[in-house]
Structure 1
Amino acid sequence: MKAVATKANPTSIDEEPSLYARHKKIYPRIAFGFFSRLKALSGVILLGMYYLFPWFQWDNRQAVLFDLPGRQFHVFGLTFWPQDFIYLAFLLIIAGMSLFFFTTLAGRLWCGFACPQTIWTDSFLWLERLAEGNRSQQIKLDQAPFTLRKFRIKTTKHLLWLTFALWTGFTFVGYFTPIRELGQSVISLSLGGWETFWLLFYSFATYGNAGWLREQICTYMCPYARFQSAMFDKETLIIAYDENRGEPRGARKRKIDPKAQGLGDCINCTMCVQVCPVGIDIRNGLQYQCISCSACIDACDEIMDKMNYPRGLVRYTTENSLKGIPTQVLRPRIFVYGGILLALFIGLIYAISNRVLIQVDVIRDRNSLFRETATGLIENVYTLNMMNMDNKPHRYEIIVSGIAGLQLAKYQPVVINAGTVEDISVSLLANRANLIKPSMEVTFQLVATDDPQLTVTEPARFLGPVTH
């Protein structure tokens, strides 16, 4: 027999509970204060870097350009090649260690102040306010019946969103295709297939993630929200509500002493909830949805100022501090993470600044092991695959060593243009009397004549008959 829903049991046993709560649109109020200004500054800087870097020029080329067909990655004055993949690995390790360091120190700083999802969502919220008005006006508009005015406002908002998203997608593709050429292709409607795909894909991803999904990305899709607790401890700085000071909460007049009425400092204005971009109530304790944007701190401090109460009812603090236990923010764990991060960063800078901008691969001719010339010398033939990874051409000389009296024949100094690869064939000649083994190691050394510090060596094997 099927269970029937009653007053005592409103959910029958045949009903399956929903895994996700029904989404309710969040209308975050604008917060004003120190952290809000800091977050806005962070957004302006990061978005400015993203949108402006492709337009900068450096040595008659785009300053930041990832030229995949040419296998060159230009970052201002530096040019990287696929052979420099190790530096990308370094960067990823540094990024991961930075996440550990800053999360252990002060929680989800990355999420609140630098995450692309947060930065672009704030931009879309700003455009939404520009079209629909403030929080109360947006709520009133959404609750109003559909009219021509509502249609006009909503259309304006989505046109602003789509324009901004398309410019974002255009800029993204501009990091891989010279952005000025890309702009001309867009104007002349001559975009290639892949360029069109990535422009539209990144545009609609931005439009969907920042315009529609917003906080759902942080709550349901971002894995960081789930494993952040593994990096927290009782000394981690978190945004928290001081329950001992704020409770019991309740409304009151400004000039009345709350203690006389048995109240705490929280006036239950819900401003901390109204400014939260993920819609949580910080007074319920630390929650995984919190992205540490600090909007609730600014909102609460503003109310405390109006009530002539001390600031800090909602603040950056630690779990131990809330319990009255002495706090030690700079603890061994922080120094360990910081030391590793600093060492990795210094190592990366050192490696990049000392990297060799010439590469050579020596390939021995396998068609014949060796041959004897008319003068009685033993000859080995090699192909030198030389790559100039510098941003200017160089003239290279080749110096060989490893066997007494070793000579270099069939060779002229070669000029290799910037970012090009040259293959040249050279011959080594050795006296039979100097060959003490059938296979001996020789060394090729390339030296730039205009910059002797630009040099590289590569070993090879010289084969010949044994005479001893």
Structure 2
Amino acid sequence: MNKTQRQRLAWRTGFFVLFILAPVFDLFRFDLEENHFYLLTFPWTLGIDAFRNGEISALEMALNMGLRFFLPLALIVGTGVWVAWKWGRLYCGWLCPHFSVVETINHFMRKASGKLSIWDREALPEDQADGTHIHVEKKWWWVTGLLITGFSFVWAVVLLTYLLPPREIYYNLFHGELTRNQALFIGVATFLFIIEFTAARHLFCRFGCVIGLAQSLVWMGNKRALVVGFDRARISQCTECDASCEHACPMRLKPRSIKRKMFTCTQCMQCVQACEKVHTDDPRPPLLHMLQGQCALDVSLRDFGLKPEIPADCFPPIAGTNSDSPSSNGG
């Protein structure tokens, strides 16, 4: 695990903990019983009831709507659009608690079956060019099943605490005193999450997540956004590898493809790390790099059949070659 992946693990872990604890400490949640949000421990109301009761004027109500609804919404959406425009699905790969579950289940399902999904036709190799060694044993299905069930239950309970007082939910849960509706919500949600985490977690990330799709659409609109770039001048060297970069991708994408086919890339950079490992004992630099600006056009403009001029410094030169010569646009 390189520095980038250690940083990503720290961010994902921290955000997953925040996802669980945010409603407990009233950092963010919507209380159905009180019919308003809590933000950073404070009630976050629009004052609709006060306006109906004549306690505040129409002007105060309008200010509340502007400052407590439209302004925060604009800041959140604006920040999300700006981040996605520059870096793509950065939230998905570095923070999203659902994607953390996806990657964890991928890991153990691969140990149990050699596949990242039950729908994959062929198992991945146990030994790869990037040094990965995963011995497939069916006993790992027990661990995979327990993790899927455990994550599903945790997600169901946590989502309920975003809607009802967390102390009430956890007290009732630990004392076996859940109300009928609480038990029904947790039971049904757990069942649905088990199905999703087992059979459709990648499909959800690709097509079912509104936040993810919005990031992808914004990212696709910026031809110079951060993207995985492939040094096409050395395309022949790929025959020396076993597609370790593809095997490392948790979304099961092909990192050497054009941008359109990388629509759901989460910027986790695991494919780049795999390529780096393949070249650990190779004097030649890796073929995959994260690119931005003019360097990213080789990936994005090829969607339209174009072959743009790529600056010579987009990829590190091979030792002993002329670093001033531009990379080839063939391939």
TM-score under structure 2 length normalisation: 0.67
Aligned ranges for residues 153-168 of structure 1 at < 5 Å? 153-168=140-155
Instruction: Report the secondary structure of 1:191's partner residue.
Output: coil
1:316 aligns with 2:316: no
Alignment partners' CA distance in 2, 1:48 and 1:301: 31
SS at match of 1:181: helix
Q: Which amino acid aligns with 1:282?
A: P
Contact 1:225 1:289 survives alignment (8 Å): no
Q: How far apart, CA to CA, are the structure 1 residues paired with 2:207 and 2:28? A: 33
For residue 181 of structure 2, what is the aligned residue in structure 1? 194
Percent identical across equivalent pairs? 17
Deviation per CA, 1:320-369: give whole Å up to 9, x if none: 32554569xxxxxxxxxxxxxxxxxxxxxxxxxxxxxxxxxxxxxxxxxx
Residue type of the alignment partner of 1:278: M
Aligned-pair CA distance for 1:133: 8.5
* Equivalent of residue 100 in structure 1, options 81, 103, 106: 81
3-state SS, counterpart of residue 73 of structure 1: strand
**Residue correspondence of structure 1 range 50-449 to structure 2 within 5 A:** 50-56=19-25, 64=28, 66-83=30-47, 86=66, 87-126=68-107, 128=109, 132=112, 139=123, 150=138, 153-222=140-209, 223-224=213-214, 227-228=217-218, 230-233=220-223, 235-244=224-233, 246-250=234-238, 267-286=240-259, 287=261, 288-311=263-286, 313-318=287-292, 320-321=294-295, 322=298, 323-325=308-310
Superposed displacement of residue 314, structure 1: 0.9
Provide the rounded CA distance (Å) in 2 between the counterparts of 1:75 and 1:96. 17
Maintained 8 Å contact 2:86/2:225: yes
Measure the CA separation in 2 of the matches of 1:81 and 1:170: 25
Deviation string 1:131-151 (CA, Å, 9 cap, x unpaired) is 739769x949xxxxxxxx94x
- CA 1:268–1:314: 2 relative to 1, 3 Å: same
CA distance in 1, matches of 2:165, 2:105: 27
Q: Call closer, same or farther: CA 1:317–1:77 in 2, change over 3 Å.
A: same
User: Does the C-alpha gap of structure 1 residues 35 and 168 become closer, same or farther in structure 2, counting only changes over 3 Å?
Assistant: same
> How far apart, CA to CA, are the structure 2 residues paired with 1:110 and 1:153?
30
- Contact 1:34/1:298 (CA < 8 Å) preserved in 2? no
CA distance in 1, matches of 2:76, 2:18: 18
After TM superposition, give the deviation of residue 294 of structure 1 in Å.
0.9
Counterpart contact for 1:103–1:232, Cα < 8 Å: no
Question: Are the aligned partners of 2:85 and 2:221 in contact in 1 as well (CA < 8 Å)?
Answer: yes
State which structure, 1 or 2, has the greater radius of gyration over its C-alpha atoms: 1
CA distance 1:183–1:127, shift in 2 (3 Å): farther
Structure with greater helix share of residues:
2
| Alpha-carbon distance between aligned partners in 2 of 1:127 and 1:206, rounded to the nearest angstrom | 17
SS in 2 for 1:307: coil
User: Matched residue of 1:309: which SS?
Assistant: coil
Contact 2:156 2:186 in 1 (8 A): yes
Query: Matches of 1:219 and 1:225 in 2, distance apart?
Result: 11
Secondary structure at the aligned position of 1:239 is classed as strand
* Structure with the higher strand share, 1 or 2: 1
Task: Give SS of 2:164's match.
Answer: coil
Q: What letter corresponds to residue 227 of structure 2 in structure 1?
A: I
Q: Is the 8 A contact 1:121 1:211 kept in 2?
A: no
Q: CA deviation at 1:128?
A: 4.2
CA RMSD of aligned residues (A): 3.3
Counterpart of 1:305 in 2: which secondary structure? coil
1:122 & 1:248 partners in 2: Cα distance?
31
Q: Secondary structure at the match of 2:225?
A: coil
CA deviation profile, 1:163-183 (whole Å, cap 9, x unmatched): 221122112212333323222
In the alignment, the residues of structure 2 paired with residue 326 and residue 120 of structure 1 have an alpha-carbon distance, to the nearest angstrom, of: 39
Q: Cα deviations across residues 156-199 of structure 1 (Å, max 9, x unaligned)?
A: 42133112211221122123333232223224443224323332
Q: Secondary structure at the match of 1:269?
A: coil
Structure 2 residues not aligned, in runs of 5+: 48-63, 125-136, 299-307, 313-331
Give the match's secondary structure for 1:123.
Answer: helix
Q: For the residues of structure 1 that align with 2:40 and 2:78, how far apart are their CA atoms?
A: 25
Unaligned runs of 5+ in 1: 1-31, 57-61, 141-148, 252-266, 328-468
8 Å CA contact 1:241–1:315 kept in 2: the answer is yes
**C-alpha displacement of 1:70:** 2.1
Partner Cα distance (2:27, 2:235) in 1? 56
Question: Which residue in the other structure is 2:10 paired with?
Answer: 41
- SS of the equivalent of 1:74 reads strand
**CA displacement at 1:104 relative to structure 2:** 2.1
1:230 to partner: Cα distance:
4.8
- Secondary structure at 1:209's aligned position in 2? helix
| Change in 2 beyond 3 A, CA 1:156/1:110 | closer
Equivalent position SS for 1:69: coil
**In the TM superposition, what is the alpha-carbon distance from 1:284 to its structure 2 partner?**
2.5
How many Å separate the matches in 1 of 2:201 and 2:282?
33
C-alpha contact 2:245 2:275 (8 A) present in aligned 1? yes
